[in-house]
Structure 1
């Protein structure tokens, strides 16, 4: 059944045409990803469908019985409700029914009509599972990392508000859901949960995302906005790449660079998780062969080659560093000595201290303990989540020239990369060079801020959520840039595809405040994590078997004990068995904990320690009784 029809939509901003006479439709249950360059009009199209903005011409028709919900990329809203109260308001129908039920349940004498209505309300709440309304809201908040249900929404950060807003729209149980960059401000585990949830839900979905894993997993078709038109591709992102490759084969030789780029992207994606778990990208032999055999592009938009920047013996040296904020320990006893060409990804739940660690490594804040030294030759480029150094009344090219006129790569005939060349290579066409920054989209502003950092030619680069607001083509450009970067690269990112491509080691924040290093990329880390958890489960099972065997072996001994001793012996066996089961449960809870609720982590740790002591004490007494009657 068709639930959405968009016909001949056109939209312009000032002199820029975003799209012209585009048409498409959506059937019930369809899941569609929208892709296109920054500024192509992806977010605007979602706003037009939702009714927030109007098209210059054309029509949007949503089925009358379709409940539509839209989540903005920035989610700028305010509320003095608690997070729980706010999210529960997401389902207006259940809220109204509960209010009505409350009114009738407190009325002493109901009329016949009121009794019938009260019965109808109960039946409807049963059918909607409305009695679990509060539990459902808590589930969404908890899975999205908001564990303090009573926190006032007004006091939350922008990222936290985005997660509360996401919980709100999920709570509403929409028929058609529009999501603009839903993975922004989510950690990797939460993204995986959202991905699985959207895959399993029988809803219609239109979404914009730069997360290629998320796009590939959730989408069933792709809408691409390109050159003011819209193109439809059946299948997910991988199928889209295959179809684009076939299309590129039919084009003239001037488009061969597109074929090469798509072939590389498709080869990487098709290789799957197994190949992405390799310790170094250079070891993916057949992808390297593809790169060598591909036709060299005459278009230098994407390729940026940098020479080796001098790095002394000391780059970054951190020995047993630690940091706490407002009495909360983020990390401790962490040691790192940087080497040229280090490629490191940092992983952990929101609020665990990833950005704080970057600030410390950049020399912006001091360590609470241990020692930290930034080498004299280290030139740090730090790309933060919030962009605050752009001037709206400055032109794009002058913003770069404010940093430097050119980058000296130190090699070859084309030794110098000018500001103009860098802009063109990073997808800013010539007509945009003299545009004012105030006219740029959010993604274009972030791309310009990144180029300002590149223009300073740093040899140590720290990136904090660099993929937010970037289109896929920009991400490919960034990844290509770093293929030839000689310095140190350390990344905090929720984008699993980006981390997989970019890093050779992963630092993982653990609930106890330690940081553990894993060789390989993100997918390889997930494989190792699953092996560790499997081993823990196996050991816990073996310990339970040993306990059961020990109890069985003492049956004969019990017969030789006095009544009082036998009673104590019996109680000890039962208590030890019960305590070990409880210990196993708490250890499993700690293993599976997402690290978001530090108070709960402390409680679990204390309980585990207490249980272990009790087990040791009671086991020692059990052994005394057993040996005394030998």
Structure 2
């Protein structure tokens, strides 16, 4: 069943065309992720579909009677209402049904009206609405129902708007970065909610695991054209690569044909026949195809940072609290060269405060933070860029430097750095206030990197960045030779770039874990925790780095370090967890491959290939299991 059709729409701002002659449809039960680069009109597309922005041409046609709800990045809520009052306002059909039922109760003599209201309550499953909204608000950490909206933070407002949308149970949900301002626990809950609810979804999000786990179709706007992939994010990546390879082959053929036709054109006399005119027209089309080239602008940063000395960053019995809220309690840690630490935890547990203590922006209540003489911090905060009226993009970057040194004695100018971050020459002279949210974030990254830091601190760097920029940023960070500390709720990003976690659990409890986010989730799922007082005490101990492992005070080691102490090395622990995930995936691949043999229409060649593939999978499983048993035996010994 078609819910909504986008028919030949176009949108421009002045001379800048966002998209032109775009068409697609949204059908019932589809969960579509919309992927495009920053500045290509993702938010405008969502607002057009939601009926909040006009098109230059074309139209959007929705099915009569369907309800559409839109969650913007910056929701517009009434500041005078409380959290609970906000839930009971707006165009919520369930609220209207409850109001009609309550009205019918006041007039029991009108039996028809009462019966109709009673049946509507059943149909809308409205009897337990109070339980529903309190559960959802609790999951989104909105516990004070009487708190005024005007007193909420930006993140709390976004979560309240999300709760209101979910409770209205619309037919079509349009979401602009729904995971922003959600911690990891909330994101995973929202994933499960979307998977089990019969909702039709069209969304923009930079969270690739969210796309992977929720969406059954990806629509990409690339080079002004739409490409649809009927599958999740992994399917999209695989098939996009195939499409790009096919485009590259077609481009090569076009260039060869263009050279051949160019030679023919040069040989033609001035007086041309009808036949030659037709061929000339074809020549211009071939020329246009051959002249096309992809404009991906992959960033290839090779910053030559200043070397770090032997002393980098040390925490010595650091404590910090805000009233009754404890953030750190005699916390100790010594950073080593090349550390890549991810910081995770619920909102409000002190992650950003921890980063500010690292850089000296906030002073600890007790203890000391020692920063090495050679350390040069690059700090990317959630606040972003302070925009000055009339300031151009190139002016922003030049405030921090005219060039940066690269490897092999080269340098790169401010303008060249901006080009590497997808700002072409024309865009560099745009006013900053004209940039999209994602483009401003990209510019902010430029201002951090041009200062040539050797210790990067990134606080939610993935917010508002498109998937293309995220891949570019990740590739740079993988090559970054300095220290890295990152706070992020983007699980895909964390999995790719960190190898050690600080898990903030609240009340100054910080656990150290050797691995990335998926390793941690696997570990949490496989280990049953002992909830005795002693276990709680052990979990509350300070995080100790590998550099501190020689400490004779055994009760200062985290419970995870105690569990593995003297058995598996840091890298072996990571390998063991990774093998478990890989073996599980290979077992699933084996089952799927075995199902292929049930097809009676397989040819002999297909059977031979499937057999070879199955043998390869089985051999891979055996190899990995052998290594897994080897590590397990070492761990138990």
**Aligned partner (choices 493, 496, 507) of residue 488 of structure 2:** 493
Aligned to 1:379: 376
1:20 — aligned with what? 20
The yes-or-no answer on 1:334 pairing with 2:335 is: no
Q: Which runs of 5+ in 1 are unaligned?
A: 257-296, 541-582, 592-630
- The residue that corresponds to 1:352 in the other structure is 349
Is the 2:392–2:432 Cα contact (8 Å) retained in structure 1? yes
Report the alpha carbon displacement of residue 255 of structure 1 after superposing the two structures with TM.
8.8
Which residue of structure 2 aligns with residue 7 of structure 1?
A: 7
Q: Is the alpha carbon distance of 1:253 and 1:482 closer, same or farther for their aligned partners in structure 2, counting shifts above 3 Å? A: farther
Distance 1:332 1:515 in 2: 9
Mapped partners of 1:11, 1:519: distance in 2: 48
Match for residue 571 of structure 2? none
Residues 1:386 and 1:405: Cα distance change in structure 2 (over 3 Å): same
- 1:131-280, aligned counterparts within 5 Å? 131-252=127-248
Given candidates 464, 472, 483, the residue that maps to 1:477 is 472
In 2, Cα distance between equivalents of 1:133 and 1:224: 37
Query: Take 2:330 and 2:62, find their aligned partners in 1: how far apart are those partners?
Result: 57
**Equivalent in 450, 458, 463 of residue 463 of structure 1:** 458
Match of 2:418 among 398, 417, 423: 423
Residue 218 of structure 1 and its aligned partner are, at CA, apart by 1.2
Higher relative contact order (CA 8 A, sep 6+): 1
Higher mean C-alpha deviation, range 72-81 or range 2-11: 72-81
What SS is found at the alignment partner of 1:510?
strand
Q: What is the deviation of 1:43?
A: 0.8
Do the aligned residues in 2 keep the contact of 1:334 with 1:514 (CA within 8 Å)? no
Secondary structure (helix, strand or coil) at the match of 2:127 reads helix
Q: Post-superposition shift, 1:391?
A: 2.6
Residues 1:62 and 2:59 are matched in the alignment: no
Matched residue, 1:436: 431
* Separation in structure 1 between the aligned mates of residue 486 and residue 403 of structure 2, nearest angstrom: 25
Between the aligned partners of 1:23 and 1:165, the Cα distance in structure 2 is: 29
Q: Aligned with 1:251: secondary structure? A: helix
1:302 matched residue in structure 2: 299
Following TM superposition, by how much is the alpha carbon of 1:326 offset from its aligned partner in structure 2, in angstroms? 3.5
> Shift of the alpha carbon at 1:254?
11
Question: What is the alpha-carbon distance in structure 1 between the residues aligned to residue 471 and residue 136 of structure 2?
Answer: 33
1:179-232 CA distances to partner (integer Å, 9 max, x unpaired)?
000000001111111111111111211000111111111111111112222221
* Secondary structure in 2 matching 1:305: coil
Secondary structure, counterpart of 1:412 in structure 2: helix
Residues in 1 aligned to 2:181 and 2:215: alpha-carbon distance in whole angstroms: 21
How big is the shift at 1:36?
0.6
Distance 1:253 1:395 in 2: 39
Counterpart CA distance in 1 for 2:15 and 2:52 is: 21
User: Which stretches in structure 2 are left out of the alignment for 5+ residues?
Assistant: 253-293, 541-637
Equivalent pair of 1:316/1:337 in contact (CA under 8 Å): yes
1:84-123 correspondence runs (5 A): 84-89=84-89, 92-106=92-106, 110-111=108-109, 114-123=110-119
Shift of 1:380: 1.2
The alpha-carbon deviation at position 513 of structure 1 amounts to 2.2
Q: 1:396 aligns with which of 382, 393, 397?
A: 393
Q: Distance in 1 between matches of 2:250 and 2:411?
A: 26
C-alpha contact 1:88 1:137 (8 A) present in aligned 2: no
> What is the Cα deviation at residue 158 of structure 1?
0.7
Tell me the distance in 2 between the aligned counterparts of 1:23 and 1:336.
Answer: 55
- Residues 96/76 of structure 1: CA separation in 2 closer, same or farther (3 Å cut): closer
Q: Match for residue 358 of structure 2?
A: 361
Cα distance change of structure 1 residues 219 and 521 upon mapping to structure 2, 3 Å threshold: same
Matched positions, count: 495
Determine the structure 1 residue equivalent to 2:448: 453
